[in-house]
Amino acid sequence: MRRIRNMGHSSPDSWPQRRRRLLHCGATKPDGRTTLTEQALKGRVALITGGGRGMGREMAVAFARAGAAGVCITAAPGSDETGDAIRTELGEALAAIAAAGGRGLALTGDVGDWDNCQRVVAETVVTFGALHILVNNAGKSGRYVATGGKRRVPFYEADPEGYCEVNRTNVDGPFLMARAAAAHMIVAGWGRIINISKNVDAMHAPDNSPYGPSKAALEAATVAWAEDLFGTGVTVNSLGPGGAVNTRFGDGNLTGRGQPADVMVPCALWLASAAADGVTGCRYTGNRWDPSLPADEAAEACREPQIFPAPTRKTVLTLAWQPTGSGLPAGKAGTTQSVGTTKDTVS
């Protein structure tokens, strides 16, 4: 594992007005409505896998702008990428974090390898003194299983080694990273695990295995981990962009179509902040964020019921299966319910 450091501070560069409005989250207005300030993550340390490019990089820079005490980003070369290219991307991302006024740490390592995951978490804690937020963003697409020059193939034509490689990154990776990080969060009594997911249709679309099914597995893990961690102060939620994003993820090239790479930033900031205390086991879609609303209302508009039927067993995650809007009780607009739990308290 190689490390790239950038521990310096610099003055924040210009921040477009649109993004300034998106970042308002964390303070309380006189009418009781929650807004997010640009210091919503002050003192928090975040680790974002796949943070050298695309959506991961956008979240890393936004977390730095929001006052995070440290942001660690990780990346690993794929079968068609060189280590030098990955390190160059990480270096550029570190420069962007520094330009946003943040402290950054970049590590190369495979999230599908347990030893690497432990090292990444340990390096983050040693460098910044803590770890509060984990964003499981690293992923591999169907291009790793395509054969015969095709962009997508049915499962019975998929390359077996590539199929296992995708699952190792998309399913094993989030588990191994969360497994390594959870102990630090539990001891601190506060933590966030955000699993980056996908729209439901893609999970069972033809010619999309194992990428689609791997995201369905991650949704199931989100619910299970949220129940495992219930009562510890550590929450687990999933967040998807809500459609195709203009990044290099899909076929390895800039697609020139889809949503901007920062589409999930506002909702990710809210989920990572204290404004989302008590929210766990829920699923969010980033492109539904409405910057004209108070942050808690905008976040609730992004929440959608879990993709699985509500369990017949007793569960502490009651709101996870409720319709959008259930997190804001009637007559209490602007307040944030302790959603995703059996509690009816309003914080």
CA pair distance 133, 181, nearest whole angstrom: 9
Residue spans of the domains in the chain: they are: 3-321
Q: Name 259's bridge partners.
A: 245
Please state the pTM of the whole predicted model. 0.85
Return the number of other C-beta atoms located less than 10 Å from residue 224's C-beta: 13
Residue 252: per-residue pLDDT: 53
Q: What torsion, rounded to 10 degrees, do the Cα atoms 276, 278, 281, 285 define?
A: -20
Task: Among 7-11, 77-81, 175-179, 292-296, name the one with the lowest average pLDDT.
Answer: 7-11
170, 219 Cβ separation under 8 angstroms: no
181, 222 Cβ separation under 8 angstroms: no
Residue 57: per-residue pLDDT: 96
Residue 200: per-residue pLDDT: 86
Question: Which CATH code is given to the segment(s) 3-321?
Answer: 3.40.50.720
Residue 22: per-residue pLDDT: 38
Going by pLDDT thresholds of 50, 70 and 90, the confidence category of residue 199 is confident
Q: Burial-class residue 214 by CB neighbours within 10 Å (0-12, 13-18, 19+).
A: buried
Task: Among 137-146, 182-191, 335-344, name the one with the lowest average pLDDT.
Answer: 335-344
120, 107 Cβ separation under 8 angstroms: yes
Residue 92: per-residue pLDDT: 96
Residue 125: per-residue pLDDT: 98
Decide if pLDDT at 309 tops 60. Answer: yes
Going by pLDDT thresholds of 50, 70 and 90, the confidence category of residue 333 is very low
Stretch 82-95: mean pLDDT: 92
Decide if pLDDT at 209 tops 70. Answer: yes
pLDDT tens for each residue of 252-293? 555 566 889 999 999 999 999 999 999 999 999 999 999 999
Decide if pLDDT at 11 tops 80. Answer: no
Going by pLDDT thresholds of 50, 70 and 90, the confidence category of residue 14 is very low
Going by pLDDT thresholds of 50, 70 and 90, the confidence category of residue 317 is very high
CA pair distance 152, 45, nearest whole angstrom: 38
Stretch 212-228: mean pLDDT: 96
Going by pLDDT thresholds of 50, 70 and 90, the confidence category of residue 215 is very high
Residue 30: per-residue pLDDT: 39
Going by pLDDT thresholds of 50, 70 and 90, the confidence category of residue 12 is very low
Q: What torsion, rounded to 10 degrees, do the Cα atoms 176, 179, 185, 191 define?
A: 60
Decide if pLDDT at 75 tops 70. Answer: yes
pLDDT tens for each residue of 48-72? 999 999 999 999 999 999 999 999 9
Residue 202: per-residue pLDDT: 85
pLDDT tens for each residue of 90-135? 999 999 999 999 999 999 999 999 999 999 999 999 999 999 999 9
Decide if pLDDT at 178 tops 60. Answer: yes
285, 52 Cβ separation under 8 angstroms: no
Higher-pLDDT residue of 23 and 92 is 92
DSSP E strand stretches across the chain:
3-6, 26-28, 34-36, 45-49, 70-75, 104-108, 133-136, 191-196, 234-240, 283-285, 303-304
Residue 21: per-residue pLDDT: 35
Residue 13: per-residue pLDDT: 34
Q: Name 48's bridge partners.
A: 73, 135
Task: Among 45-49, 179-183, 206-210, 277-281, name the one with the lowest average pLDDT.
Answer: 206-210
